[in-house]
Amino acid sequence: MHDYFEQFATIDSLHAAENLKNVVKKTSLDYNYHLSEKFDTEVYLKREDQQIVRSYKLRGAYNKISQLNAEQKEAGVVCASAGNHAQGVAYSCKKLGIKGVIFMPGPSPKQKITQTQMFGNGSIEIILKGDTFDECQRAALEYAETHNMIFIPPFNDLQIIEGQGTVAVEIMEQLPETEVILVPIGGGGLAAGVSFYIKKHFPHVEVIGVEPSGAGCYYAAKKHNKPYTLEKLNKFVDGAAVQTIGSLNFEICKERIDHSILVPEGKVCTSLLELYNKDAIVAEPAGALTVASLSYLQERIQGKKVVCIVSGGNNDIDRMSEIKELSLLHEGLKHYFIVRFPQRPGALKLFVNEVLGPQDDITRFEFIKKTQRERGPALVGIELNKAEDYPEILKKMQELQFDYKTVNDDSSLFEYLI
C-alpha cells in the first residue's frame, strides 16, 4: 500500500484544473427529470459532450502536452486514438503551436476523422493504421521512436489521469451533495482520474465503473488481478473498446472504484436514442454507457444523488440505423426468421394477416434461394409493437404449419445473414 501511494503521489487534479481553466469548458451538470422519475432517484448528467472537442479527452491531452519542456515541444508529439483523444491532441497542438502526428484505427468513424482534422487545422497529420486501437497504438509507438517524437498516451499516463480527474473536481464544485458517480471505463484514464480524486477528497462518495459487455477489459483485469488482453473485442462502443486496460489505471481503479458493471451494447443504443428523443442530447455510444447502467443499478442508487458522466458526443449520423437496429434487437422488438412457406396459394397473405399483429411490421423479406419449380425459404425480418407478443408469433407459425428457424438465437447464422 505504501508503494501505491508513493507511485501516484504526483497526481493532483486540483493543480490540473488550474492549468486547464482557460482552455477547457466547465461543462454543465444538469438534473434530468425523466431519468430521475424513471429510477426513483436524483439523476444528474455531467455533460462532457458539451466540451470544446465534444469529449473529456481534451483535459488529459492538454494537461500532458502543455507540461512538455521546450525541446520536447520542438520535437512534436504522436498519439493513437479511436477519435476523442485524437481530437484533444489535435486541439492542443494547434493551441500550443506544436506539430502532431495522429494514428487512428482504420474503422474510426469518418465524423471523428474530419473533426480531428478541423481541430488540428494544419498542425497535425492523420495516419489510419490497424483494425483495433491496440494495433494502431503499436504503430504509433514505433513511429514516435523512429522519428524521436513524444508519444502522448490516451490513458496510461499520470498527467493524462490527472487531467481527466478535473471532471470530478467540477462535479463536486457543482454538486457537493453528490453521493454516487457513474464513470465509463475504456482504457481507464477517466475512471482512474475520477476515482483517485474522489476517494482522496470525498471518500464517502461511491464511484461505479461502467463497461460495454463486449469490451470488458477492466472486468477481465480484475478477474486475473492484472491487466489482461481480451481475445475478442466488440468495437461498437468505439470510445470504450480497448483490449487491455492501462496498468497505471488498473492499479488506481482496483483500489478506488467501489463497484463495476458490464452493460450490453444493445442497452447502450436504447439509452442513446432515449437521450436524443427525450432530451435532445447527442451522445456517442461510450457517452451513453453510464445512463444505460441505471437500469441495472436501480436498487443500489435508489433515493440518492447520482451523477452520470456523459463522456462524449462525437457520434456519426451514419451509424443511427445500426444503433436503432441494435436497440430493437436488445429490447426484443426485432426478430429474424428463415421461413419455408407452404407451397399453396395465399401462404404469404396468411402469414401477414394471421401471424402478425395489427401493429407489427415486416421490415425485411427476401427469398434465400429458388429453383425453376418452387421458391426456397425466405429471410423475414419482423418488428413487433410489444416484445411480449413474440411467443404468440411462434405459436401461430406452428399452428399454421410454417416451417421456420429463428435467426436471432444463432450468432453465426445472424452474422452471416444480417
Q: Which residue in the list 13, 46, 57, 199 is annotated as catalytic?
A: 57
Q: What residues contact residue 133 under an 8 Å CB cut-off, 6+ apart?
A: 80, 81, 82, 105, 154, 187, 241, 242, 243
CA atoms of 167 and 26, how far apart (whole Å): 9
User: For 78, phi and psi rounded to 5 degrees?
Assistant: -130, 145
Angle at 29 (CA atoms; ends 296, 166), nearest 5 degrees: 95
The alpha-carbon radius of gyration of the chain (Å, integer) is 24
Judge whether 311 counts as a catalytic residue: yes
Give CA separation, 365 vs 336, 398, 401, 411, in Å: 10, 20, 19, 20
Sign of CA dihedral 336, 342, 345, 347: negative
Q: Which residues contact 106 (CB under 8 A, 6 or more apart)?
A: 128, 129, 130, 131
Cα 194 to the center of its chain, rounded Å: 17
DSSP 315-345: --GGGHHHHHHHHHHHTT-EEEEEEE--SST
Beta bridge partners of 38: none
Q: From the candidates 123, 195, 260, 311, which is the catalytic residue? A: 311
Sheet holding 124-128, edge to edge: 124-128, 100-104, 77-80, 150-151
What does the alpha-carbon distance between residue 264 and residue 289 come to, in Å, rounded to a whole number? 9
- Helix (H) or strand (E) holding 366, with range, is strand 361-367
Contact call for residues 70 and 96 (beta carbons, < 8 A) = no
Q: Angle formed by the axes of helices 110-120 and 84-96, to 10°?
A: 10
- Contacts (Cβ under 8 Å, ≥6 apart) of 151: 77, 78, 79, 140, 141, 144
Residues annotated as part of the active site: 57, 311
